[in-house]
Homo-oligomer: A and B are copies of this chain.
Amino acid sequence: MNREERNHHPARKVRFVVMYDGTHYHGFQTQEDSRLPTIQDQLHHVIQTLTGESVKIICAGRTDAGVHARGQVVDFSTSSRIPDERFPLAMNALLPRDITVIQAETVHPDFHARFDALGKHYRYTIYNRRMPSPFQQRYSYQVFPELDLERMRAAAAALIGTHHFGAFCASGSVVKRLERTIWRCTLTPDEEGCIHIDVMGDGFLYNMVRIIAGTLIDVGKGKIDPRSMPEIIASRDRTQAGTTAPPRGLCLMKVWYTPQPVMNGSQQ
C-alpha cells in the first residue's frame, strides 16, 4: 500500500487487539493455497459477515504457523458503524474459540499496524522438566536436563543494544537492513516448571526470537559458552548461532505505538 492509497480512505479505520492459539493455523497471513487456514482468513471472513465488506487486514507481526499471540494488533478500513465497544463481542460470537478480539478502537485514518509499531514484546516459553505436561505441550518447548539459568542470563545480556543481527536471522530472508535494537531480554522461571524468555525491541528479523531462544537453550545446556555471544553477534553468520527453537513456544505479547490523536471523542 503506497502513501496515496493510505490517504484515500473510507469513513473509518479500526484497530483490533487479537489473541490466538496458533496451534491449528498456518500462521497469520493468508496463504496462496487457500486450503491452509490462517488467522487473517478467519478475521477477514468474520468482518465480511458483520459488515458486508471485503476488507484488507494489516497486522503488526506476521506470526508463523504454530506461533501464538496475546497482543497481536491489526487494522482495517471500514464504512461499518458498529461502535468500538460492541465490535469485540460481535467478532467473538462468530470467530472460532481459538481466536478472540479483546479490544477495538477507531484510530486515525493514517494508522498502520506494522509501519507505526514502535516495538514489540515476544515471549518464548521453555518447559524444563523431564516429563511432558498435558497443559504445556501446545505452548512451550520441552527441554531436559535442567538448564543453567545464570549462564543463559549472561548470554542474554550480550544481546541488549543495537546490533547487526545477521547471525540471528533465518537464511533466505530478503530484508536488507539487519540492524535492530533489543531493549530487554529477561529469563523468568515459574512455579510450573517453565522458563519464559521475554524479548523486547524495536523490531525483529525473520525467526529472530526463535533463534535467540535456541541459542540461549544451547548456552543453558553447556553447548555454547556465554562469553562467546559478542563473537557470535559480530560474525553476522547464521551458522554461528544456535538452533531455531520450534514455533509452539513463541507468543507475540504486545505491540507498542505512539499515543494516537483523539478520534470522535472515544479515545483517551
Contact = CB atoms under 8 A, between A and B. Distances in A.
A interface, size bucket: 20 to 34
Contacts of A131: 88, 92, 100-103
Contacts of A21: 134-135
A137 interface: yes
A54 interface: no
A48 to B, nearest CB: 21
A62 to B, nearest CB: 19
A56 to B, nearest CB: 24
A98 B138 CA distance: 10
Contacts of A129: 102
Between A99, A103, A134, A137, the greatest number of chain B beta carbons within 10 A of the residue's beta carbon is seen for A134
A266 interface: no
A14 to B, nearest CB: 16
A7 B88 CA distance: 62
A134 B71 CA distance: 12
